[in-house]
């Protein structure tokens, strides 16, 4: 491989990435686009390996609501079956003239009325077994809604970095040299202050005849900003200290490399530190392009308008 020829020996390596150096243990990218490490866990009991709370909190709303609904329909079915099994005659208010399906249906809705504690009372339990079962069902119902309350609150109060990254990175002109740039923007009605960014480059290269993962810290033009209200373009100047010094378009096409981006900021609305990560494999880096501005002032010059749809918009430029 030709790669070793232009490794920049002046570039700062990074030993603290938390990723190992043995390239042959790794599959695919280090970090997925959504910021989660590209790792699959196995071993241990799956129930111990999964935080079901986080799973329920992070899934899309429609999935979550489907689970809630399925649970409600299902648990009432189970209870209805038991009421039916004990004997429909222990439910006062169900007439004997009903068909079996009709009886089961009434048991089912009695169950729903018990589970939700609506308890109209036109059907009511009689006898120890049915009374005890309905007492248990009301308890389970209330505890289920207690858990649902927690999950709803967990879902919407979870501090999340409402931050979007451009899909691509670009190599653009920067001062007299070139720079590697990515762009991010807050996209919701929250306030970010004290934002801090880190960029790391991971490459799979040959060293002493073996393929290893090598990581480099990429210096940024600005590493911290006081307030992240507009778009923020992270710029890594490709100067003679950069590991990307003298990289050509072909290098980006042939080398197996990945840019890891990590941002931490304080969200005034959550009063909490929030973090976001993403990564760009080399095929997601556009060589010779620059981002177009995302904001401008409004018609009467009283406000600055940020156009979120322009986050990933860039135009081609010829690099010296």
Q: Does 187 engage in binding with its own copies (CB under 8 A)? A: yes
Alpha carbon distance 270, 156 (integer Å): 11
Q: Which of 191, 204, 239, 312 is the binder for its own copies (CB under 8 A)?
A: 191
Two structure tokens written together for 57: 């909190």
Q: Does 243 engage in binding with its own copies (CB under 8 A)? A: no
Q: Which is nearer to its own copies, 139 or 315 (CB)?
A: 139
Q: Given the rule CB under 8 A, which of 2-10, 113-121, 244-252, 282-290 is the region that contacts its own copies? A: 113-121
Per-residue buried b or exposed e for 279-315, using 16+ beta carbons within 10 Å of the residue's own CB: bbbbebbbbebbbeebeeeeeeeeeeebeeebbbebe
Q: Does 320 engage in binding with its own copies (CB under 8 A)? A: no
Q: Does 128 engage in binding with its own copies (CB under 8 A)? A: yes
Residues β-bridged to residue 20 = none
Enumerate residues 6+ apart whose C-beta is below 8 A from 81: none
Q: Which of 10, 12, 224, 249 is the binder for its own copies (CB under 8 A)?
A: 224
286-315: contacts with its own copies (CB under 8 A): 293, 295-298, 300-310
187 and 163 in contact (C-beta within 8 Å)? yes
Q: Which of 67, 132, 292, 315 is the binder for its own copies (CB under 8 A)?
A: 132
Q: Which of 11, 19, 80, 83 is the binder for its own copies (CB under 8 A)?
A: 19
**Which helix (DSSP H) or strand (DSSP E) does residue 152 occupy?**
helix 128-157
Least distance in angstroms from the C-beta of 212 to its own copies: 14
25-54: contacts with its own copies (CB under 8 A): 25-28, 31, 35-44, 48-51, 53-54
Instruction: Identify the CA nearest to 151 among candidates 29, 246, 58, 73.
Output: 58
């Amino acid at each position: 491989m030709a790669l070793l020829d232009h490794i920049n020996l002046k570039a700062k390596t990074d030993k603290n990435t938390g990723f190992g150096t043995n390239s042959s243990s790794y599959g695919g990218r280090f970090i997925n686009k959504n910021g989660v490490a590209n790792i699959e866990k196995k071993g241990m009991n799956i129930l111990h390996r999964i935080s079901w709370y986080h799973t329920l909190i992070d899934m899309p709303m429609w999935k979550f609501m489907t689970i809630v609904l399925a649970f409600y329909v299902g648990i009432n079915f189970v209870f209805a079956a038991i009421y039916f099994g004990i004997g429909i005659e222990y439910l006062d208010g169900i007439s004997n003239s009903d068909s079996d399906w009709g009886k089961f249906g009434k048991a089912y809705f009695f169950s729903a009325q018990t589970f939700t504690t609506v308890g109209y009372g036109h059907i009511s339990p009689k006898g120890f077994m049915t009374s005890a079962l309905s007492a248990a069902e009301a308890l389970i119902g209330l505890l289920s809604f207690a858990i649902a309350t927690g999950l709803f609150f967990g879902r919407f109060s979870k501090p999340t970095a409402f931050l979007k990254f451009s899909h691509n990175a670009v190599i653009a002109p920067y001062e007299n040299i070139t720079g590697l740039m990515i762009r991010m923007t807050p996209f919701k009605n929250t306030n970010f202050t004290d934002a801090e960014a880190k960029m790391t480059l991971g490459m799979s290269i040959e060293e002493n005849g073996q393929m290893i993962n090598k990581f480099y810290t990429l210096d940024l033009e600005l590493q911290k900003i006081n307030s992240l209200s507009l778009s923020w373009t992270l710029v890594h100047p490709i100067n003679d200290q950069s590991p990307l010094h003298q990289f050509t378009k072909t290098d980006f096409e042939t080398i197996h490399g990945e840019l890891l981006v990590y941002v931490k900021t304080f969200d005034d609305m959550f009063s909490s530190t929030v973090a976001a990560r993403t990564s760009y494999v080399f095929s997601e880096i556009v060589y010779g392009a620059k981002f177009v501005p995302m904001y401008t002032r409004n018609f009467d010059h009283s406000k600055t308008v940020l156009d979120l749809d322009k986050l990933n918009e860039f135009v081609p430029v010829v690099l010296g």
